[in-house]
């Protein structure tokens, strides 16, 4: 099985563009979806699914597979696009996104979508679930890793900090958190809604090894993901500085694009930018 | 016949430990999770199986989320803490991470109902059954005694999916003094007494009270059937309809808010399939005063004499 491994920067950048285009396609077809948040984490998801993670579309439930939890479930457009392009389900399924009885809803359903580890959507749930998966790996003597992608606003939730304590207490160096730090909540800049500063120090104080990266620089993302765990016996948090709406200039860094659908004109421009 | 393994413990927690010890030895997938309460519930388990025990501290949301994570790797976590914190502090984790995902997590909820009456309403699990009833995929078991407890745990292990097992008081009388006479099947009530006048549909600690009331009523010439509804969800409709054949009607008995629990479930079935008079005995829709469980059962007309009184009113009313 195994990851694709060493696919190279150009390949991965092309793949993430493809994923962005697919996200836009799905949103335009359905006139619904959290597009800007998906564009924010598209590069990270590409790196995980096409380079880093030990996964096999032909055997999605392999017991040694690496686990990926999209804790910020509303970013699922990027996950759907990556999973299908990685071969977990046919790309025709994109057409059914949020349509009646589709497996692809506005938040990912782990019982229905091949490759989705577990259902998410309610913020603050993914990291605790990841703690269980990571502890299970240790108990079962398996080498898989558990990757949890979090939104930055999501860490407002108290349950995240319960899990942060547990990861440190149990010395879980097999869990890797990634914060998609685009600095925007649904209501505005995170600094105005509810500050999470000092972000690095908070995680360090909870006993995590922290690394800060450019979440749109493929070299940066891949090298960070391949370096973890940063310290033995410690969980790792990767703080990925990102841009909400990345790749579509009219959307970039604008909080009100959280779940807004582009007009036909804006979409036309966006496809050009993502070509 | 009573079998040794049915545990005639007067306290449920030793029964729980006894059977957990048995099942963990049989099945390496079983692990135990608690939120700083293990010393009260399963102290020996912690000592005997340190590698299979995970304390999450006072962080119930994380514990139930992690339980779903454990289950996704094929393990069978028994996650345990006080019912009020299970069903309310971690309600959404139970609903979204465990029930929605149909995860194989066994939830052990202690201190359900008025058990912690002296500790006050913050610690009383008086809404727990009602809350869990509204969650799809959830199986709800409320054992009447230590015998039902041992069977419930074993069946929960065999059952693939989330199960909420609710305990009330630590000490309580044994209902099945001769052991179970029939197989314990999730979703199948156990008929303990037969009588044609009135039917008691009881669960948990209220089963022994229903039996006592049945004995008292017999002296007064009133004959009652008694059912232990150890499973509240899925509800044994067949047993409810069987109980509905009584002459004067049915009385539901539960140590839970009268709204939305066993009484509500029974009334739902009867309302649509076989309308009959139903009286619901349980905790009124309020936050109880401070008191021991027995004091509170008396205060809220849930003790044996109140059950007898309610039964007599029911028979008189109908004869009226």
CA distance A147 to A42: 15
Q: Are A228 and A208 in contact (CB under 8 A)?
A: no
Q: How confident is the model over B179-194, as a mean pLDDT?
A: 96
Neighbours of B122 (CB within 10 A): 10
Least confident of A4-8, A39-43, A258-262: A4-8
Q: Are A16 and A156 in contact (CB under 8 A)?
A: no
**Is B92's pLDDT higher than 90?**
yes
Rounded to whole angstroms, what are the CA distances from B217 to A51, A68, B302?
Answer: 74, 61, 15
pLDDT at position B168: 87
pLDDT at position B172: 78
pLDDT band with cut points at 50, 70 and 90 for residue B291: very high
Give chain A's mean pLDDT: 97
CA distance B89 to B86: 6
**Is B211's pLDDT higher than 80?**
yes
Task: Specify burial of residue B312 (Cβ count, 10 A radius: 0-12, 13-18, 19+).
Answer: middle
Task: Give the active site residue among B10, B17, B21, B60.
Answer: B60
pLDDT band with cut points at 50, 70 and 90 for residue B17: confident
Identify the closest residue of chain A to B61 by CA–CA distance.
A159
pLDDT band with cut points at 50, 70 and 90 for residue A108: very high
* Residue A146 belongs to a domain: yes
Nearest residue to A78 (alpha-carbon basis) of A217, A228, A214, A244:
A244
pLDDT band with cut points at 50, 70 and 90 for residue B118: very high
Question: B61–A121: do the CB atoms touch at under 8 Å?
Answer: no
Of A119, A127, A166, the CB nearest to B101: A119
Question: B62–A111: do the CB atoms touch at under 8 Å?
Answer: no
- pLDDT digits over A33-74, tens only? 999 999 999 999 999 999 999 999 999 999 999 999 999 999
Which chain B residues are within 8 Å of A131, Cβ to Cβ?
A: 62, 65-66, 69
What CATH number labels B4-166?
3.40.50.970
Q: How confident is the model over B88-102, as a mean pLDDT?
A: 98
**Is B319's pLDDT higher than 60?**
no
**Is A233's pLDDT higher than 70?**
yes
**Is A131 an 8 Å CB contact of chain B?**
yes
Which chain A residues are within 8 Å of B64, Cβ to Cβ?
A: 128
Nearest residue to B279 (alpha-carbon basis) of B190, B200, B194, B196:
B200
List Cβ neighbours of A107 (8 Å cut-off, separation of 6 or more): A73, A74, A76, A119, A120, A121
Residue B100, min C-alpha distance to chain A (Å): 8
- DSSP string spanning B248-264? SEEEEEEEEESSSSHHH
What number of CA atoms fall less than 13 Å from residue B33's CA on the CB side? 30
Strand ordering across the sheet containing A236-241: A67-70, A146-151, A175-181, A236-241, A209-214
* Residue A157 belongs to a domain: yes
CA distance A49 to A12: 10
CA distance B278 to B270: 9
**Is A4's pLDDT higher than 80?**
no
pLDDT band with cut points at 50, 70 and 90 for residue B42: confident
Domain with A163, as residue range(s), is: 9-273
* Residue A2 belongs to a domain: no
- pLDDT digits over A168-177, tens only? 999 999 999 9
> What is chain B's Cα-based Rg?
19
- pLDDT digits over B152-170, tens only? 999 999 999 999 999 987 7
pLDDT at position B40: 82
Residue with the two structure tokens 């399963």: B42
- pLDDT digits over B218-259, tens only? 999 999 999 999 999 999 999 999 999 999 999 999 999 999
**Is B4's pLDDT higher than 60?**
no
**Is A149's pLDDT higher than 60?**
yes
CA distance B268 to B249: 15
Tell me, what CATH number does A152's domain have?
3.40.50.970
Which chain A residues are within 8 Å of B61, Cβ to Cβ?
A: 124, 128, 158-159, 162
Q: Are B143 and B149 in contact (CB under 8 A)?
A: yes
- pLDDT digits over A65-81, tens only? 999 999 999 999 999 99
Residue A111, min C-alpha distance to chain B (Å): 7
List Cβ neighbours of A9 (8 Å cut-off, separation of 6 or more): A218, A219, A222
**Is B137 an 8 Å CB contact of chain A?**
no
Structure tokens at A195: 């500050």
Indicate if B155 belongs to the active site.
Answer: no
* Residue A226 belongs to a domain: yes
Answer whether B4-166 and B190-319 agree in fold. yes
- SS3 of A179, please? strand
Strand partners, A210: A237
Rounded to whole angstroms, what are the CA distances from B75 to A82, B104, B109?
Answer: 29, 8, 19
List Cβ neighbours of B169 (8 Å cut-off, separation of 6 or more): B12, B113, B115, B205, B293
pLDDT at position B320: 40
Q: Where are the domains of chain B?
A: 4-166, 190-319
pLDDT > 70 in chain B, percent: 95
ipTM of the complex: 0.95
pLDDT > 70 in chain A, percent: 98
Fold of B190-319: Rossmann fold (3.40.50)
List Cβ neighbours of B249 (8 Å cut-off, separation of 6 or more): B198, B199, B276, B277, B278, B279, B314, B318
pLDDT band with cut points at 50, 70 and 90 for residue A6: confident
pLDDT band with cut points at 50, 70 and 90 for residue A133: very high
* Residue A37 belongs to a domain: yes
pLDDT at position A226: 96
pLDDT band with cut points at 50, 70 and 90 for residue B145: very high
CA distance B210 to B206: 6
Least confident of A1-10, A164-173, B187-196, B303-312: A1-10
Q: How many domains does chain A have?
A: 1
- pLDDT digits over B264-276, tens only? 999 999 999 999 9
Which chain A residues are within 8 Å of B53, Cβ to Cβ?
A: none
């Amino acid at each position: 099985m195994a990851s694709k491994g060493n696919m190279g920067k150009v390949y991965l950048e092309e793949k993430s563009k493809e994923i962005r285009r697919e996200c836009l396609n799905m949103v335009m077809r359905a006139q619904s979806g959290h597009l800007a948040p998906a564009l924010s984490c598209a590069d990270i998801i590409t790196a995980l699914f096409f380079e880093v993670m030990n996964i096999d579309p032909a055997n999605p439930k392999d017991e040694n597979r690496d686990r990926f939890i999209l804790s910020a479930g509303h970013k699922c457009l990027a996950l759907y696009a990556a999973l299908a392009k990685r071969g977990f389900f046919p790309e025709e399924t994109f057409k059914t996104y949020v349509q009646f009885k589709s497996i692809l809803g506005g938040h990912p359903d782990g019982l229905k979508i091949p490759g989705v580890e577990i259902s998410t959507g309610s913020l603050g749930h993914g990291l605790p679930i990841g703690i269980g998966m990571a502890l299970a790996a240790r108990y079962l003597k398996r080498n898989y890793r558990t990757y949890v992608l979090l939104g930055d606003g999501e860490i407002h939730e108290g349950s995240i900090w319960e899990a942060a304590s547990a990861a440190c207490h149990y010395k879980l160096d097999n869990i890797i958190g990634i914060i998609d730090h685009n600095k925007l909540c649904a209501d505005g800049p995170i600094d105005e809604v509810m500050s999470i500063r000092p972000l690095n120090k908070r995680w360090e104080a909870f006993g995590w090894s922290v690394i800060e990266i450019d979440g749109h620089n493929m070299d940066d993302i891949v090298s960070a993901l391949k370096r973890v765990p940063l310290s033995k016996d410690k969980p790792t948090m990767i703080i990925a500085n990102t841009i909400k709406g990345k790749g579509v200039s009219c959307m970039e860094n604008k909080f009100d694009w959280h779940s807004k659908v582009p007009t036909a004109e804006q979409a036309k421009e966006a496809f050009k930018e993502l070509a | 016949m009573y079998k040794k393994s049915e545990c005639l413990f007067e306290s449920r927690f030793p029964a729980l430990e006894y059977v957990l010890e048995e099942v963990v030895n049989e099945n390496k997938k079983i692990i135990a999770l608690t939120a700083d309460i293990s010393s009260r519930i399963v102290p020996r388990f912690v000592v005997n199986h340190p590698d299979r025990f995970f304390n999450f501290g006072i962080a119930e949301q994380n514990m139930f989320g992690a339980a779903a994570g454990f289950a996704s790797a094929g393990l069978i976590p028994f996650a345990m803490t006080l019912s009020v914190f299970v069903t309310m502090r971690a309600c959404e984790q139970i609903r979204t991470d465990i029930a929605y995902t149909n995860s194989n997590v066994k939830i052990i909820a202690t201190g359900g109902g008025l058990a912690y009456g002296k500790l006050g309403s913050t610690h009383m699990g008086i809404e727990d059954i009602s809350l869990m009833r509204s969650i799809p995929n959830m199986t709800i078991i409320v054992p009447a005694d230590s015998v039902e407890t041992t069977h419930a745990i074993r069946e929960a292990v065999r059952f693939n999916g989330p199960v909420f097992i609710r305990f009330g008081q630590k000490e309580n009388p044994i209902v099945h003094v001769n052991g179970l006479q029939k197989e314990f099947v999730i979703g199948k009530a156990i008929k303990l007494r037969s009588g044609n006048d009135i039917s008691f549909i009881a669960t948990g600690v209220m089963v022994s009270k229903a039996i006592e009331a049945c004995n008292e009523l017999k002296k007064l010439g009133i004959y009652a059937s008694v059912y232990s509804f150890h499973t509240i969800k899925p509800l044994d409709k067949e047993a409810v309809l069987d109980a509905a054949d009584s002459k004067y009607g049915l009385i539901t008995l539960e140590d839970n808010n009268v709204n939305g629990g066993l009484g509500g479930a029974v009334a739902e079935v009867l309302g649509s399939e076989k309308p009959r008079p139903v009286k619901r005995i349980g905790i009124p829709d309020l936050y109880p005063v401070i008191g021991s469980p027995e004091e509170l059962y008396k205060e809220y007309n849930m003790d044996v004499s109140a059950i007898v009184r309610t039964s007599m009113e029911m028979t008189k009313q109908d004869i009226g």
